[in-house]
Amino acid sequence: MMMFYFSFLSRMPFGAAEPALTLKQYALFFERDFYRFLTWRSIMLGVHVTVFCVLIGYPAALILARSVEGRWREAILLLVVLPFWSNALIRIFAWTMVLRTDGVIDQALHAIFPWAPSLGILYSYPAIVVGLVHSFVPYMILTCYISLQAIDGALIEAARSLGASNFTIFRRIILPLSLPGLVVGVILIFVPTVGAFMEPRILGGTQSIMLGTVIEDQFTEVFNWPLGAALSFTLLAIVMLIFAAAYPLLRNRLKLA
């Protein structure tokens, strides 16, 4: 609430001069194409990261829930949550050692194929996506795993006994019943990715400028907290509008589930 109040101030509320209440900070977002362009880039980054997390996380959760049993399942689940126990900054800097030219990937590749070109992608948009997918894919695995684990196996066996193929069972039973976990995973990944600033700044180089990095600069470099707060709440409003627009579709799908 305090930051929401700051977003309507003309200047920092510290010092002798009293700040005035104004909408100037919000008006800047609509007056400058720069902010709208960065908002679009941040949203597209959120879409790309979320899509990759779905493509990686959902099949992993499906295999974990339906094909792995016993202590192997517990061991793999532990490996999934293990990254949460390490500092995010350490994980990101570890990726710089992997993705840079002549990094871990390049050395392994050139040890097998000495003539192969470098695969170093550090300081690029793909490097940002890789870092964010690594950070957030455990959320998708865990939320989907919980939904998939709750599906009654008797439903699948009944469908199979009636002659349904594996694809039909997945399309008509598994996917609809696991949709709530998938939706929760999408929300948990998309929202923080749109406002991410640490991964873009460290892994992105010249591609690092997102709205999240600009907001961080307003708080830590420029000390223009009112503008940083206004940009933050504007981004939050845009994300909420996106989910509000998607709500009718999600509601129908979840009803079917």
The reported pLDDT for the residue numbered 252 is 67
Convert the chain into a string of H (helix), E (strand) and C (coil).
CHHHHHCCECCCCCCCCCCCECCHHHHHHHHCHHHHHHHHHHHHHHHHHHHHHHHHHHHHHHHHHHCCCHHHHHHHHHHHHHHHHCCHHHHHHHHHHHHCCCCHHHHHHHHHCCCCCCCCCCCCHHHHHHHHHHHHHHHHHHHHHHHHHCCCHHHHHHHHHCCCCHHHHHHHHHHHHHHHHHHHHHHHHHHHHHCCCHHHHHHHHHHCCCHHHHHHHHHHCCCCHHHHHHHHHHHHHHHHHHHHHHHHHHHHHHHHC
In degrees to the nearest 10, what's the CA dihedral of 9, 235, 220, 134? Answer: 160
Q: Residue 110: pLDDT band by 50, 70, 90 thresholds?
A: confident
Number of Cβ within 10 Å of residue 70's Cβ equals 7
For 141-153, what is the mean pLDDT? 93
The reported pLDDT for the residue numbered 254 is 62
Listed residue (141, 150, 140) closest to 178, CA to CA: 150
pLDDT at residue 253 above 70?
Answer: no
Q: Residue 102: pLDDT band by 50, 70, 90 thresholds?
A: confident
How far, in Å, CA of 182 to CA of 156, rounded?
Answer: 19
| pLDDT more than 70, % of the chain | 96
The reported pLDDT for the residue numbered 35 is 92
- For 194, counting Cβ atoms within 10 Å of its Cβ (0-12 exposed, 13-18 middle, 19+ buried), the class is buried
The reported pLDDT for the residue numbered 168 is 94
Compute CA distances 159 → 50, 56, 132, 165, 207, whole Å: 31, 27, 38, 8, 49
What is the rounded average pLDDT for all residues in the chain?
Answer: 89
**Any idea how long the chain is?**
257
Q: Residue 113: pLDDT band by 50, 70, 90 thresholds?
A: confident
Listed residue (198, 212, 230, 169) closest to 90, CA to CA: 198
pTM of the model: 0.90
Tens digit of each residue's pLDDT (9 = 90 or more) over 3-25:
888 888 888 777 667 788 889 98
Q: Residue 255: pLDDT band by 50, 70, 90 thresholds?
A: low
- Please, are residues 159 and 173 in contact by the beta-carbon 8 Å criterion? yes
Which residue's entry shows tokens 């209440």?
A: 21
For 195-206, what is the mean pLDDT? 89
